[in-house]
Every structure is written in C-alpha cells, then in structure tokens.
Amino acid sequence: MMQDDPLIIAHRKFKSRLLVGTGKYKSLPEAKASILASGADIVTVALRRAQLTGTKESVQDYLDPKAFTYLPNSAGCFSALEAIRTLSLAREAGGWTLVKLEVMGDKRTLYPDVQQTLKAAEILTKDGFDVMAYTNDDPVVAKRLEDVGCVAVMPLAAPIGSGLGIQNPRAIEAIVKNATVPILVDAGVGTASDASLAMELGCDGVLMNTAIAEADDPVLMAAAMRHAVIAGRMAFKAGRMRKRESASASSPVEGLVNG
C-alpha cells in the first residue's frame, strides 16, 4: 500500500490496511495464495478453531510468522473469562500480546456481548495486552473501549459472515470522528465496494475473512479487496467533492459564442 501512509497500531507500523482471516478456506494452500494476493501484513487466527502447531499441517507451515503478524483472536468465546483464558494461552504459546478480543452474545446472531467485552478488555489491557476489540456499531461503546485502553476498536459492518456490507454508515462515521485510536471495520463485508466504502468513511482499515474465503475465486477476490482498500483510503485522503441538489456543468458556460 502507500508507503508514506502506514497503518499504526500499538506503535507498530503496517504497510497494508487490509487484515485477513485464515479460516473457511478449502485448504491451507488456497488460504496462503489468497492471503498473499491480499497483500495483508496481519492475519487473524481463531485459537479455539485453528491448529497452529502439532503433527498435522498448521497455519504456520504456510504463513511464516516472521513474514506476517499473527493476530490471535477469541472467536467462539461467550464470556469475558473464556476470552481472557483463550488470549492468555496465546501469549503463553507464542508470546503474542497484540490480540483481537471477541466476546459473543449468542450463537444465532453472533453479535458481541458489550458488557462482557468491556470487562475483558479492561482486564487484558491491565495485564499488558494490546487489545483490538470487536464490537457493535455503537459510538458510545466504541469510545468506552478506547477509554479502557484498547489500541484499536473494530465495529461490525453487519453480522459476521453475512456479506451484507455496511448497514449503518453514519454510525461508523461517528465512531471514526470520535476516536483517537485506529478504527477498523470488522465483519459483514461482502465485496470490494463494501471495503472501499469503509475506507471512504475514514476507517483506518478493514478486516475480513468470509468475503474472500467463500468467493468463487478467493485469490482474485483477495486482490480485488487489496485494491479496494487502497482506493478507498486514497479517496478519503483526497477529499470528495461536495454533494449538490442540482446539476453543475463540467465546463464553464461563461464566454461561449452564441449562434
């Protein structure tokens, strides 16, 4: 991505503003090819679902931890205690302290449990973790997560795995305007225009998995997402034209010759 515009999280610099997951692919080779096409520096790993090491092939056999920043997450956890234990195991197993916190409220909607997320975030940050917290698209909750010490806040665009795109752009924009830490849209992205919109709203990055892994051609979709995030960031930095109620000619009309 733009070399002079790095994503900075917890004082670490990353070239790409696109973060990708490692799950749901048909195979680990497909996951590797897609992630390479995405250009991502950060890859998320659901510790309760993925095998990092062992006798069978693992994610680390295909994605070199020296080339990628692994972001362990607590996907599948439904209480603060469960999430804290899971992420503490990540630190013990691999020394990871930059983590993604997820605490789900129920198994049907997979919406976050805000109270449990706030509780876990406060404990983890005090214990030395750099917490990137997944939450709903509520500006008040996002600010509270920042206040308890989260290094990034990750509001959903839509329910996890839905592919519905950003359902409440004004809320995402409000979260961005009220934040002093990076804001990354997480969950619900379905196609490249969704990723671009997130960046045009001022988000610092986008995290996705299903949108790439479940595409007919995951590698091609990963490349599309890479370019969409870049284009959206460039458009945000350029500053869009103001919207008008009526037409405005592209060429000046003054001084035209009549007849």
Check if 100 is active-site: yes
Compute how many other C-beta atoms are within 10 angstroms of the C-beta atom of residue 67: 9
Q: Who contacts 94 (Cβ-Cβ below 8 Å, separation ≥6)?
A: 52, 65, 70, 72
Compute how many other C-beta atoms are within 10 angstroms of the C-beta atom of residue 32: 18
DSSP letters along the chain, please? --TTS-EEETTEEES-SEEEE--S-SSHHHHHHHHHHHT-SEEEEETTT---SSSS--HHHHS-TTTSEEEEE-TT--SHHHHHHHHHHHHHHH---EEEE--BS-TTT--B-HHHHHHHHHHHHHTT-EEEEEE-S-HHHHHHHHHTT-SEEEE-SSSTT-----S-HHHHHHHHHT-SS-BEEES---SHHHHHHHHHTT-SEEEESHHHHTSSSHHHHHHHHHHHHHHHHHHHHH-PPPP-SS---SS--TTPPP-
If you search the block for the tokens 């997320």, which residue do you land on? 117
The Cα 105–Cα 16 span in angstroms is 31
Catalytic residue (choose from 13, 100, 119, 237): 100
Q: Which residues are catalytic?
A: 100
